[in-house]
C-alpha cells in the first residue's frame, strides 16, 4: 500500500437522514484495506461528527479523505455561514443548534471537542459568510 | 452476558439480527442524544435509546456497538431497520422505559463503562 488513496464525497445539505453516508463508506473502505481498528475508530467518530456539522450548521459541502500508509488525512470544506468564535465553538457544551436539531439527537455542543479528541491533529479555517474548512489527521500507529 | 440474556431480562422483541443473539455484551449506554453517545461512549456494546432516526444506526456503526435497544415501545421504520440489517447489528425493542431498562441491565451485571 505505497500509494495514497483519495476518496471524495459531496455532502448534500437537504437530507439529514443521509448525513453520515460518507463516514460510513470511509469506515468500510478502511476496514477492507486492513487499517488497524483503533485508527478506524478514531477516523469514524471524528469524520461523522464533522459530516453532521456540515449538514446541520452549513449547507453541505465536500469531504476529501487521503489514506496513506502513515496517516489518514481528512478535509471537510463547506460554504456555510462560518464560525464567528472558534474558541467558543471548541468548548464542550457550546452550541447554536436549534431545538429542531436537538430533537434529532444532536446539538449538545460536543462535536468539535470530540473531533479534537479523536484526531491527532486538527485545524479550522473559517470566514464569516464564506465557509469553514476543518482538516483532521489520524496517524496509523 | 449475551444479547439473548439482555433480551430476556427486558422481555424485548428482536427486530433485526436474530442470528447474533449469542454475542457477548459487557457495558451499555443509554441516551436520546447521539451527540452525548458519540462523546462519552467508550467500548460500549449496547445502546439504549428512545430516538428512532437513521442517525441512531450510524452512531452505533461508528462506535462498533453490537446491539441497539429501543425503549418505551418505540419502533423505527423499515428503512432504519434495513440499515441495521446491512450493518449486522442486533435491534431489540422493549416496552420498559429508559430508567427501568438501564436499571434491570445494570442489576444483572452490565456496567456503564469507565467514567
Ligand atoms: N461547519 C460549520 N459551519 C458553521 N458553524 C459550525 C460548523 N461546525 C460547527 N459550527 C458551530 O460550532 C458550534 C459547536 O459545534 P459542535 O459540533 O461542537 O456542537 P453542535 O454541532 O452544536 O452539537 P453536537 O456536535 O454535540 O451535536 C455549533 O453549534 C455551530 O454554531
Ligand atoms: Mg456537532
Q: Report the complex ipTM.
A: 0.94
Average confidence score pLDDT of chain A:
96
| Alpha-carbon gap, residue A75 to B47, rounded angstroms | 30
- Can you give the pTM of this predicted structure? 0.96
Domains within chain A, CATH numbers bracketed: 5-139 (3.30.565.10)
Task: Return the pLDDT at A113.
Answer: 98
B9 pLDDT more than 70: yes
User: What is the rounded CA–CA span in Å between residue B14 and residue B94?
Assistant: 9
Helix, strand, coil shares of chain A, percent, nearest 5, are 35, 25, 35
- Asked if pLDDT for residue B7 goes beyond 80, the answer is yes
Q: Does the residue B45 lie in any domain?
A: yes
Residue B112 covered by a domain: no
Q: How far apart are CA B66 and CA A93, in angstroms?
A: 28
User: Is B81 exposed, middle or buried, given 0-12, 13-18 or 19+ CB atoms closer than 10 A?
Assistant: middle
Q: Collapsing DSSP states into helix, strand and coil, what is residue B59?
A: helix
Q: How far apart are CA A100 and CA A105, in angstroms?
A: 9
- Could you tell me the pLDDT band of residue A2, with boundaries at 50, 70 and 90? low
Closest CA–CA distance from residue B12 to any residue of chain A (Å): 23
pLDDT at A134: 98
User: What residues does B30 pair with on adjacent strands?
Assistant: B48
Going by C-alpha positions, the residue among B28, B37, B41, B57 that lies closest to residue A27 is: B57
Task: State which residues form the domain around B75.
Answer: 3-107
Please report the pLDDT score of residue B43 as a whole number. 81
CA-proximal residue: ligand 1, atom 19 (nearest)? A109
A44/chain B closest Cα distance in angstroms: 5
Chain A residues in contact with B63 (beta carbon < 8 A): 41, 44-45
Average pLDDT over residues B21-33: 95
CATH number, position B15: 3.40.1390.20
Which residue reads 456503564 in cell numbers?
Answer: B112
Per-residue pLDDT tens for A107-127? 999 999 999 999 999 999 999
For residues A92-112, average pLDDT: 96
Q: What is the pLDDT of residue A141?
A: 75
- Assess whether the C-beta atom of A109 lies below 6 angstroms from ligand 1: yes
**Which whole number is the average pLDDT over B20-25?**
96
How many residues does the structure list for chain A? 141
Sort out which chain B residues have CB atoms less than 8 A from A27's CB and list them: 61-62
Question: What is the rounded average pLDDT of the residues B34-55?
Answer: 93
Q: Is residue B115 part of a domain?
A: no
* pLDDT digit string, tens, across residues A9-20: 999 988 899 999
Q: Which residues of A touch B61 (CB under 8 A)?
A: 24, 27, 44
Does any ligand 1 atom lie closer than 6 A to the CB of residue A89? yes
Position B115 scores a pLDDT of 62
Number of structural domains chain B divides into? 1
Residue B32 domain flag: yes
Amino acid at each position: 500500500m505505497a500509494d495514497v488513496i483519495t476518496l471524495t464525497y459531496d455532502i448534500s445539505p437537504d437530507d439529514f437522514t443521509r448525513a453520515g453516508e460518507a463516514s460510513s463508506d470511509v469506515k468500510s473502505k478502511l476496514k477492507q484495506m486492513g487499517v488497524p481498528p483503533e485508527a478506524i475508530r478514531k477516523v469514524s467518530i471524528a469524520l461523522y461528527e464533522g459530516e453532521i456539522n456540515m449538514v446541520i450548521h452549513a449547507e453541505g459541502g465536500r469531504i476529501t479523505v487521503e489514506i496513506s500508509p502513515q496517516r489518514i488525512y481528512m478535509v471537510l470544506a463547506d460554504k456555510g455561514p462560518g464560525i464567528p468564535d472558534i474558541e467558543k465553538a471548541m468548548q464542550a457544551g457550546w452550541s447554536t443548534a436549534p431545538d429542531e436539531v436537538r430533537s434529532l439527537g444532536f446539538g449538545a455542543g460536543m462535536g468539535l471537542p470530540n473531533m479534537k479528541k479523536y484526531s491527532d491533529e486538527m485545524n479550522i479555517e473559517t470566514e464569516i459568510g464564506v465557509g469553514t474548512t476543518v482538516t483532521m489527521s489520524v496517524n496509523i500507529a | 452476558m449475551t444479547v439473548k440474556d439482555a433480551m430476556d431480562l427486558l422481555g424485548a422483541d428482536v427486530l433485526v439480527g436474530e442470528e447474533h443473539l449469542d454475542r457477548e455484551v459487557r457495558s451499555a449506554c443509554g441516551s436520546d442524544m447521539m451527540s452525548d453517545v458519540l462523546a462519552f461512549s467508550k467500548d460500549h456494546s449496547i445502546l439504549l435509546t428512545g430516538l428512532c432516526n437513521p442517525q441512531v444506526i450510524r452512531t452505533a456503526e461508528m462506535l462498533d456497538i453490537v446491539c441497539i435497544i429501543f425503549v418505551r415501545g418505540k419502533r423505527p421504520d423499515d428503512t432504519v431497520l434495513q440499515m441495521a440489517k446491512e450493518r449486522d447489528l442486533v435491534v431489540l425493542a422493549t416496552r420498559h422505559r429508559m430508567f427501568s431498562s438501564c436499571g434491570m441491565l445494570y442489576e444483572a451485571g452490565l456496567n456503564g463503562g469507565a467514567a
